[in-house]
Every structure is written in structure tokens, then in C-alpha cells.
Amino acid sequence: MPPPPSPYHHATTGPQSQIQTPPPKQNHKLLSFLLKAIIMTFITSLFFIFLGFAALILLHLCLAGAVLHHPRFRRSTQLQATSSNGLSPHDVKKLSQFRLAKGNEPESDFQCVVCLDGLRNGQWCRELSVCGHVFHRRCVDTWLIKMAACPICRTPVSLNVGTVDSPSGPKEEEAKQLWAFW
């Protein structure tokens, strides 16, 4: 049995009655596969390039951290900071000290600003001769080894009991450096 005629097909006679067949289709699956392979190769290459850069940056940071935490580097920076900014422990021991007794209490609010603890009877204290501020001996000793200035007013502390370094004249630059540190 022959297939039924198409409703869109008109029966005509003559040379026009032959139906032209479309040209053969190109293989789109092959082109699609090639395009996918090229895109995936490009994306994979970019991934490994960025991974390489990240590894180089991480390696650089690890090496820089190892150099900064090397004991020789730490010792030299600590010695440099101690020698340039603070007093030596020997010099700190030369500063005047006293044991706090009733009636000998400082006029301020009876508090050591280094440790934020109150000053009580029987505790060893130091009064800085340059500004008159009073602190616990241990607290201010630790401070003065790191920084040779009063913790409250930043007045430079010297071992000369009679002289007060004021931020004027030749000591002005030193006072600016102390303030710039904090």
C-alpha cells in the first residue's frame, strides 16, 4: 500500500514534479566536540597558570616569614630597639626608688598607669625625677628598658637627676621621635 499523499503536496505533472533533496548535513557533533575540547583546554591552562602564581606567592610569603622569624634576625632587631630607644637595665637600677608608706602616697589618683593597679603601702615604687610621676618599680623598669620616656607624659628620662629634658632646643627632635613612636 502506498503512503497517503501529503496535504501540502500538489500533484503536478512534468519536470517540477520531482522533489529536490536538501544538501547533505555537515557533522555538527564533530564540530561541537572539537569546540568543547578547545574551551576545556583553555580553561585548564588558565587554572594551572593561576595555580602556579599562587604557589609562587605562597612560597615567597613562607620564605619571608622564615627570614623574619630567624633567631639571628630577632636578636639583632631586639638589640637595636633596646639600645636605641630604652635604658639599659644597669641604668634603670640607678634611678631612685622608695617603699610606699602611709603619708608618702603620690598626689595623683594612686594608680600605676603601666599595670593599671593601685599603689598600696609597702610596695616598691619609682618616682621619675624629670616629671614627678610615680609607678610600681617593676612596671616602670620594664617600660624604661623598652622606652626611655615617662609612660604618662612622654618626657625623656635621663640619669642626670638635676636636669629635665624639655622638648625645646636640641632635644626637640628627640621628643618628636618619642611621640612618633607612639
Which pLDDT band, with edges at 50, 70 and 90, does 42 fall under?
very high
pLDDT greater than 70 at residue 36: yes
pLDDT greater than 60 at residue 108: no
Contact criterion met (CB below 8 Å) for 87 and 145: yes
> Looking at per-residue confidence, does 90 or 102 come out higher?
90
Which pLDDT band, with edges at 50, 70 and 90, does 20 fall under?
confident
pTM, full prediction:
0.40
**Number of CB atoms found within 10 A of residue 176's CB:** 11
- Closest listed residue to residue 155, CA positions, set 169, 167, 170: 167
Q: Give the homologous superfamily in CATH for domain 86-181.
A: Zinc/RING finger domain, C3HC4 (zinc finger) (3.30.40.10)
Using alpha carbons only, what angle is made at residue 177 by residues 136 and 181, rounded to the nearest 5 degrees? 60
pLDDT digits (tens, 9 = 90+) for 120-151: 788 888 888 888 888 888 888 888 888 888 88
Domain residue ranges of the chain, discontinuous segments joined by + = 32-69, 86-181
Average pLDDT along the chain: 73
Run of H or E residues at 134: strand 134-136
